[in-house]
Amino acid sequence: MGITQQIGASSLIKPGVCTSSTRPASPFEGQMIYTTDLDTLEIWNGTAWRIIGAATPTNGTVLQIVNGTTTTQTASSSSTYVTSSLTATITPKSSSSKILVLVSISLYNDTSGGEIGLRLVRDSTTVLTNGQAKTGPSVVAYVPFMHLDSPSTTSSTVYTIHFARANGTGTVYTQVNSATSSITVMEISA
């Protein structure tokens, strides 16, 4: 008996259509269904139904991920914020999406006791001022931080890290000696 005679040829061509309460009672491994009440495409893995897709993403679904890195050293001895050259650009699919920004930036200060201020900037708007990071001579510090942003747009959006000498004297650096800094932005459905 061939596989089409065992399970029916139509099951091999398209998924079954049902609701979450009327799923097949004896599914076979690899069987796919579309649940109309959940708007999901599901597959039976031999022990449970697993969602493999949704026409309308549920809250918290990651829709896209963009990563940016840089090794370009930047320096400033000013208390005015300047760009670090660490950027990532994302174009949200929905204006209701949130953007989760994850940063790991390399910082260095050439004098002791000095502090470096950090800011996350969306296009030209500061969305987070991340306090101050202390570093000293001969110490390269990797500072991680994250922020959940609500840009309310479907236009191309640029996230950039800015930095400044927060106090003390001397020069502060990002990516000193070509150290790598990274920024990851993820669109999350809301």
d(CA 49, CA 33): 9
pTM above 0.85, yes or no: no
Domains, the chain, ordered by start: 3-54 (2.10.10), 62-188 (2.60.120.760)
Residue length of the chain: 190
Q: What is the pLDDT along the chain (190 residues), one digit of tens a residue?
A: 444 445 554 444 456 898 989 999 889 998 999 888 888 888 999 999 988 876 666 778 888 999 999 999 999 999 999 999 999 999 998 999 999 999 999 998 887 777 888 999 999 999 999 767 766 676 788 889 999 999 999 999 999 999 998 877 888 999 989 999 999 999 998 8
Other beta carbons less than 10 A from residue 94's beta carbon: 14
Residue with tokens 């209701």: 96
CB-facing half-sphere around the CA of 6: CA atoms within 13 A:
6
- Say which residues have a Cβ less than 8 Å from residue 178's Cβ, sequence separation at least 6: 71, 73
